[in-house]
């Protein structure tokens, strides 16, 4: 397990996104927030815009995105984020998004996520949660690498924020059956794998791209009631209620949930430090893979930070996208 000194910040579980950004001027910073038409994505984009950033809302539903952009413009004195369509489960949509992006990029917030109640697949046959939450964001980041490199040269570094979850503790990556072609489908395990993948992406992206001035960190926003839960099965709802009752998490407001993403995006402590997993605005402590979730709700499992696994997942993901 990691023995390095954990990175700390002045912020806590109760800090809000605006608390983190107090006194921070993001004028000239170009940011993309995926999944910015609901929940944490809205608040993350709003807070960045309020601090002066030029935000792009990357959303599946542009009508909903436009409504959010108007709301943000109304609350920030007229700064209106751009809205661009992005369906992370559709490779052609990701390519279109990348192709129309012009110029530097300083912040990529990979915030979007889906939860399914049953097995759904993309047209390639990929399991939908893994395809959307991991592969889509992976393709997006690869496609925007040059823009991030440009942004890093402009502002002494560019950052990627990969939104993970406590759910990562339920499962590592099963390379022998990534898309549930052999084992029976469990939507909670599928979601857990995608969230572990989000963390592993940050580990390998930071290793590969540090020389370009790009760092990536994974964040756990904590328990926040958002639209993500709308597709939960009764079993998933029951599991969530049991986890809350066991003290695994306490619900946060959306403003508090977005704070850890904003810490990873702007805090000086993470300007040149990548490959970490943040929880409650701090770097989380590492626990063994067999650690109990209820006893370590603010930890990160070794399987989510393992460099060899991160390299393997990167290679497998790149091969899938090339196929």
Q: Please give the positions annotated as active site.
A: 191
How is residue 310 written in tokens? 């991160």
Beta bridge partners of residue 282, listed in sequence order:
279
CA triple 107-318-192, angle to 5 deg: 70
Radius of gyration of the chain (CA): 18
Distances (CA, A) of 50 to 8, 54, 76, 79, 258: 25, 10, 5, 8, 14
E-only strand ranges, the chain: 30-34, 54-59, 82-85, 107-110, 158-163, 214-220, 277-279, 282-283, 285-287, 299-301
Structure letter (DSSP) for residue 135: I
Secondary structure (3-state) at 278: strand
């Amino acid at each position: 397990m990691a023995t390095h000194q954990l990175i700390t910040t002045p912020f806590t579980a109760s800090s809000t996104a605006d608390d983190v950004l107090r006194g921070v001027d993001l004028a000239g910073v170009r940011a993309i927030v995926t999944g910015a038409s609901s929940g944490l994505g809205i608040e993350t984009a709003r807070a960045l815009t309020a601090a002066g950033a030029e935000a792009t809302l990357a959303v599946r539903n542009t009508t909903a995105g436009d409504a959010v952009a108007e709301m943000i413009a109304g609350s920030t004195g007229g700064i209106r984020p751009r809205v661009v369509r992005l369906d992370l489960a559709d490779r052609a949509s990701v390519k279109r998004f990348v192709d129309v992006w012009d110029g530097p990029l300083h912040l990529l917030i990979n915030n979007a996520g889906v939860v399914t109640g049953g097995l759904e697949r993309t047209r390639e046959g990929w399991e939908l949660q893994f395809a959307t939450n991991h592969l889509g964001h992976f393709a997006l980041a690869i496609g925007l690498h040059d823009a991030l490199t440009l942004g890093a040269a402009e502002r002494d570094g560019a950052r990627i924020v990969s939104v993970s979850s406590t759910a990562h503790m339920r499962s590592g990556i099963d390379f022998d059956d990534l898309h549930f072609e052999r084992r029976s489908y469990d939507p909670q395990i599928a979601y857990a794998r995608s969230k572990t993948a989000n963390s592993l992406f940050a580990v390998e992206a930071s290793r590969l791209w540090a020389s370009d001035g790009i760092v990536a960190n994974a964040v756990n926003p904590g328990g926040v009631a958002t639209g993500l839960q709308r597709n939960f099965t009764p079993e998933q709802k029951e599991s969530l209620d049991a986890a809350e009752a066991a003290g695994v998490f306490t619900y946060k407001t959306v403003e508090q949930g977005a704070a850890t993403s904003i810490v990873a995006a702007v805090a000086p402590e993470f300007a040149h430090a990548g490959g970490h997993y943040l929880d409650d605005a701090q770097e989380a402590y590492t626990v063994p893979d067999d650690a109990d979730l209820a006893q370590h709700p603010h930890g990160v499992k070794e399987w989510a930070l393992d460099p060899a696994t991160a390299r393997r997942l990167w290679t497998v993901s790149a091969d899938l996208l090339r196929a």
